[in-house]
Each structure stands twice: as C-alpha cells, then as structure tokens.
Amino acid sequence: MRQVVWTVLAIVGLTRPSEGEAGEPGRDNLRPDAVVALDGSGDYRSIEEAIYAAPYRGPDRRWVILVKPGTYRERVYVQRERGYLRLVGEDAATTVLSAGLHANMPDVDGRRLGTFRTATLHVDGDGFEVENLTIANTAGPVGQALALRVDGDRVRFRRCRFLGWQDTILLNRGRHYFEDCYIEGHVDFIFGGATAYFENCHIHCLRDGYITAASTPPWQTHGLIFRRCRVTGEPGVKTYLGRPWRPHAMTVFLHCDLSAVVRPEGWHNWGDPSREATARYAEYGNRGPGADRSGRVPWARELGEDEATLLTPERVLAGPDGWRPAVLPAGPR
C-alpha cells in the first residue's frame, strides 16, 4: 500500500522537498499521517473515521489525511477539538464526498429536518484545511440542502468543488479562505454571517436566482469578498449577485469576470426597501457583459481605488491573530 501512496504523493505535492530545494510556493510539503481509500489499501475506508482517529495537534503541526480517489457517500462532522487537520484529495474531479439530505426531509422524530442539519461536510474545528476534494449535496432542486457548513475559524479550501442547488455553502461564523474553487447552485448558494474571501474561484449558476445571501452582523467590517473570480451560468439563466439575508449584509466583487448571467440591476433588496439603506454592497474593476453598472441599483456602490486596494486577504482576514491565509504553514513532522 505504501508504494502506491508515495506514487500518489508525488502527484499532489505532499512529499518533502529534497535537501536544498525550496519546495513549491504555497505548499508545506508534509507527508500524510493517514490515508483513506475505499478499496482498503489505506489506513481507513471512511473520511470521518480518519478524522475521528486523528490526535489533537495545534496550529503549528497539522495532521495530514490523504484521500484517494473514489466517491465517499457519507456525512462528515469535524469536531471543534479536531480542527487542525489537513484533508487532501488526489484530484477534486475523482475524489468526492457526497450526501443528499435536504431541509424538507423528516428527522428521527418526524419533524422537518431544516436547513442547518443537512450539510455533507460540517466544520466546527478551527484551522481545518481541505484541498483537491469535491463536496456535494446531491438532493437536487428540492429546497435548502447544504454541501458545506462552517462554524470554525481560519478554515481554508484550495482547489475544491462545491456542488448543490439552494444554499450550497453556509459560512455561519469565523474567517475563511477559498482559492481556485468551483461553486455551483442557484438560490443563495453562498450565504451566512462569516467573513470569507474567495480568490480566483469559478461561480456557476444553474438556474435563475441569487449567488449570495450574506447575514453580516452590523459590527463586523467584512462579509463576503470575491476577487478575480468568474461568474457563469447555464444557457438563459439570470442571477443577482446577492440579496441581504440580514439588513447589514456585506458583499463585494473585485476584478471579477461577470458574464451576461448577471442581471443589469446586480443586487436585490429581498423585498424589503429598508435594507437598501443598510446593506453594504459594492463592486470594483469588474469586466464582462454582467459588469456594466449603467443599470445597477443606486444603493450598491462602486468602490474607489483606495478602498479596493485595502481588500486583500491579509487585511480582510487578519483578525487579532494576524492570520495570513494565502501562506500554508510549514509545521514540523
């Protein structure tokens, strides 16, 4: 089994660099501590089993779990005390975590399950990291159905795919960083009260709807920030960039490529004109047919250059601990 694993490691860049070699920027080149494989060639057959078996480690020494290709049909909960883990798939196209709960299903007591208990992956732990993995809710267009729910802090996703329809990603609290990810849905499919930064991500709209539904608290400076992202959609689909789930929603699109899928008005007030005075919606430097601001609602702003330059991952996500999400920790093995 280990012979196969080291071949895979060479592909995903998890082996140590040779002596005198700096290593690829943005990777910590750690070897895996555990391997998950459906065919039994690893240490575990289940992703959740591997997470529950991981020992506690602090932020300077993450436990690395390599997930080999396959479709893992399970729901995974990352407990608060198991946050400092790094979950790495070989390839997001072939390594899939999948479940299909939706809000209208009955729970064990016969009551409606509700949105917040449907997540395929639920992260409570701080410092959790995921790379090269597809996280899917396969319930389809039947109502709210989460692929991802995050309640931890300093959670990072790289080269991941998030598949769903309504409410694909719930970022409930904390600070989070998404880089080179693909996210699809149709109604409020990126939502919540967290501060989250999306860098170079592909946002794809499956039907008419709304991309974001932020619920940013009024005292929180930042909500959902999209930089250098691409917004596309299925043929004939039209979408809003966002609508305020709560009155002080904060969402910004910077230097993004907005296709014709984006409606000319850009933003929606959720049927409540009073939110036009409190929602914090802005754009800067976007391009494409959906970036034309001539038809935008008057209560959404065009940022000035001085404001836009301040919206970097380092500034937006720093917090009191100075988190730098674009740099992977190089902790010891």
Q: How far apart are CA 189 and CA 6, in angstroms?
A: 37
Six token digits for residue 326: 């674009």
CA 153 – CA 328 distance, rounded (Å): 15
User: Quick check: 102 and 142 in contact, CB under 8 A?
Assistant: yes
Rounded distance between C-alpha atoms, residue 42 and residue 44, angstroms? 6
Q: Which amino acid is at 60?
A: D
257 is catalytic: no
| DSSP 8-state assignment for residue 267 | B
Annotated active-site residue 188? The verdict is yes
Q: Choosing from 28, 33, 124, 167, which is the catalytic residue?
A: 167
Which of 28, 151, 188, 292 does the annotation list as catalytic?
188
With tokens 């390594």, the residue in question is: 95
Q: Which residue has the tokens 């750690």?
A: 30
Residue 125 near residue 101, CB atoms below 8 Å:
no
d(CA 252, CA 332): 37
Positions annotated as catalytic residues are 167, 188
